[in-house]
Amino acid sequence: MADLKITEEEKIIFYFLNDLRDSGETNMFAATSHIEKEFGTSTRESLAHLRKWMKNFNQDGYEHIKIID
């Protein structure tokens, strides 16, 4: 498996999504609007972040992931 590389912003969004998931506030398939509201991203960008998070979900965090500029 190739090393996952994310931006610092994506790392922050991933932690936000972990917290949102843990809160039980929403079904994660509907989390796009939460990303838009919190980070000011477009629907398309928010959906891309959500998909990437779902593909790489780790409840223990993302410290092992390489951050790219």
pLDDT of residue 63: 72
pLDDT of residue 55: 86
pTM, to two decimals: 0.83
Residues in the chain with pLDDT values less than 70: 1-3, 69
pLDDT of residue 32: 97
Looking up tokens 């959500």 gives: 50
Looking up tokens 């809160």 gives: 23
pLDDT of residue 3: 66
The phi, psi pair for 3, rounded to 5°, reads -65, 135
CA triplet 60, 62, 68: central angle to 5 degrees? Answer: 175
